Amino acid sequence: MAQMNNQPPLTLLAELEKQLKSLSHDSQALEIIQEFANKLGKTKNRQLVFGEEGALVCQPIEYQDVLARGLIAETENPFILLQGDIISTDAAYFLGERITGSKFAIATSTCDLVPGRRQYALLLRLEPILASAADAKQLLSQMLKFESTQRMYLPPLPGDAGDAIANAVIFDGAIQIRLDDLLVSTRHASLSLVGWRIFGSLVRSILVRTGPSEVAMREAF
């Protein structure tokens, strides 16, 4: 095997691992979110902050509007959907079963939502939290602490039931959809910048979270 810079390949790869060490599996972003939520105090205070209009979600961000504001160049690929957009569709599947009557958050990155870029995309199901539910207060408190990576808090959305006090993005179980079907889905909202940052931190935590023992285990082999 050819050597680069007169160094063995494994030495070069070890240097690459060091550069990726604090980036690829880092949990600091989630810890920052949890610390911020903790400083807000009680659940009602957290709900006031994260439930404020425009805090985590906003009206769907449209390509033509963004272009007109000069926020992107005309040379960039036009987008139809963005990562984190809240959509509804009857063309999504989980374990081979079609899911109807639900809203979803798009987990796939924006750059892979360009028509023709991919065949499939990943969604995360939204579950409305109703005031009448026996565990509503417990779920709301848990989500607004961001201690669990099973759910992410979102405020009620247009079209939700009248007694909906929140929505939970469910991270336990990725939903699959053909990209062509996703691109003709109904958009309900986009994530704000901070909403998108939190969403991304949770997605990353779900997919690549690790611990020191796993590092040692892999290093040994």
Name the band, by pLDDT with cuts 50, 70 and 90, for residue 1: very low
For the segment 118-140, what is each residue's pLDDT rounded down to a tens digit? 999 999 999 999 999 999 999 99
DSSP string, 58-110: ESPPPHHHHHHTTSS-TTSPP-S--TT-EEE-S-EEETTEEE-S-EEEE-S-G
- 34 versus 1: the higher-pLDDT residue is 34
Is the entire prediction scored with pTM above 0.95? no
Residue with tokens 């610390």: 35
Q: How far apart are CA 2 and CA 117, in angstroms?
A: 34
* pLDDT (average), residues 177-206: 95
Contact 91, 148 (CB under 8 A): no
Q: Domains of the chain (ranges plus CATH)? A: 27-209 (2.30.30.110)
Positive/negative CA dihedral, 28, 29, 35, 38: negative
**How many other CB atoms sit within 10 Å of the CB of residue 161?**
11
Q: How many CA atoms lie within 13 A of 182 on its CB side?
A: 34
Burial of 52 (0-12, 13-18, 19+ CB in 10 A): exposed
Per DSSP bridges, beta strands 164-170 and 103-106 are: unpaired
pLDDT more than 70, % of the chain: 97
